[in-house]
Amino acid sequence: MGSMGLLGLFLGISAVLGVSPWNPTLAELLFLSPRTQLDASPFGSLWPLPQSLRISPERFRVAPNQFRIVHGPGSSEGPDCSLLQEAFRRYYEYMFGHSKWQNQDGGKSRYETELSSLQVIITSEDSECDKFPSITSDEAYQLQVSKPTAVLKAGKVWGVLRGLETFSQLLHEDDTGRYFVNESDITDFPRFAYRGILLDTSRHFLPLKVILTNLDAMAFNKFNVLHWHIVDDSSFPYQSTTFSELSAQGAYSPNHIYTPTDVHSVIEYARLRGIRVIPEFDTPGHTQSWRKGKMYILTPCYNGMHPSGSYGPVNPIFSATYDFMMKLFKEVSTVFPDDCIHLGGDEVDFSCWKSNPEVTEFMRKKGFGFWYSKLESFYVEKILDIVASVKKKSIVWQEVFDHGAKLQPDTIVEVWKSFYQLELAKVTAHGHQAILAAPWYLDLISYGEDWKNYYNVEPLSFIGSMSQKELVLGGEACLWGEYVDATNLTPRLWPRASAVAERLWSNRSVTDVSDAYNRLAQHRCHMLRRGIAAQPLYVGYCSHDFI
């Protein structure tokens, strides 16, 4: 991008955010000298774009061997907070670990003003350092970069994590390998509280390392929920301590399981990055892998008067089914600390239930007639009660709502089908909170820049009152695993999911696709530099290639 291109980009950001543009001098225009690599601009590297920012052309030298991230005076949290200490170490490594800065002389150059430190100040007495993030977590922060120190203020540790990411994006390196940061004033907070990524570990097993790498990428994009679709028809990799036979018989192999230690590692790794982990145990459909360990759980299908040898959804007519589910979800509630469990409830095939004489007799006695959706609702309502009994909230796919199940007031509905605007209007009109996934199925790929389609979505573009729209918690990008495993997950996910990240974080007015392209291309370079194999947006190159 040439100097005038960078100037236009900065003026565009100023206009979008309602801040006063600067009138550049000739020297400042020379500072914005033409470059061809995609990660050259100090102004166009912020992603997602903060709610309010001013960036001055004045810049300060940052000497890596002198710069420190420290607890500021008056902060309610100090060195005892391991979450912050780990974050300080991690972001110092992100900013300087890839460089040969140790060989620099560290002395004064013609840039005499240096930034000596970033002071982090937490203003709340309860920083939540030892807690897990939740839907109510405060992620707001203020960042002021001025000489001789930068100051990052936040009420909670979660805001510090987001502010550290922003500061790291402000840092830029010139052609000589010297680091600079521009004088800046940023006030930021997320537009939506729920900003998720769905990963499917059943269709193809994802090694632990791949999950952790993508948790890093989520933090780089300020996502805060990992929706872990951990089991499905294909395999049951979750190793239950209560029912070990589920994974012993239902996983692809003994090497394709997540042990309790693995699960704990994912949850803690996510917590240190301000990310919730919400597990999904989808029933009554999508449960073929459960049969190998617990055959009685599924419904035997019939061909006429005789069993066909195949099995359908979970069998909803026996009390043993609910005894099993009670024990399983009691375990799950202790393993996963988040307030929510995703119960699925989508794509239930009724044909097996229709073929089974015991099920049809049960239907007759219950007065359900031929409405198998009522049988589905009967089952789901019992599972909702079970989850409530273990002090968790439920998330369900939209079919559960569409088929008329009596949901509890705090049940969250995830919308994934077409005509999602109408569905959001209906769900919120009934007083339920909603999560939007429908326009962000990243497993559906096409040639070209499909990220623009994700970027142009407006989650609140449905007919409804202000109180209805306040019930939309946010959304998530879903990467289902039929054609995705460790070989292609990361480049397929990033930076396409980044488009969703900005839509869920930034102000509603941030919609300029041209500006977004410039910033996203540079953000992708940042991810490459940090070891994330994000695919290119289009033709170009980064100064630091992925290795």
Q: Using CA atoms, how far apart are residues 366 and 360, in angstroms rounded to an integer?
A: 10
Helices (H), 18-125: 26-31, 82-96
Long-range contacts of residues 240-247, Cβ cutoff 8 Å, at least 24 apart: 240/328, 240/331, 241/331, 242/327, 242/328, 242/330, 242/331, 243/293, 243/294, 243/324, 243/327, 243/328, 245/293, 245/294, 246/290, 246/293, 246/294, 247/293
Helix or strand (DSSP H, E) at 227: strand 225-229
Q: Using CA atoms, how far apart are residues 399 and 385, in angstroms rounded to an integer?
A: 18
DSSP state of 518: H
- Asked if 285 and 313 touch (Cβ cutoff 8 Å), the reply is yes
Structure-token match 């360990």, residue found: 293
- Asked if 399 and 343 touch (Cβ cutoff 8 Å), the reply is no
What angle separates helix 513-529 from helix 3-17, to the nearest 10 degrees? 110
Structure-token match 């543009």, residue found: 21
**Amino acid present at 310:** S
Q: Pairing relation of β-strands 340-344 and 179-188?
A: unpaired
In total, the chain counts a number of residues equal to 547
The 3-state DSSP class for residue 331 equals helix
Q: Using CA atoms, how far apart are residues 530 and 92, in angstroms rounded to an integer?
A: 12
Which of these is catalytic: 93, 347, 361, 458? 347
Q: Supply the Cα-derived Rg of the chain in whole angstroms.
A: 25
Query: What would the DSSP string read from start to end of 465-510?
Result: -HHHHTTEEEEEEEE-STT--TTTHHHHHTTHHHHHHHHHHS-TT-
Is 347 noted as a catalytic residue in this protein?
yes
Q: What does the angle CA 292 – CA 293 – CA 298 come to, to the nearest 5 degrees?
A: 70
Residue whose C-alpha is closest to residue 41's, from 172, 221, 184, 178: 172
- Asked if 311 and 362 touch (Cβ cutoff 8 Å), the reply is no
Q: Which residues are catalytic?
A: 347
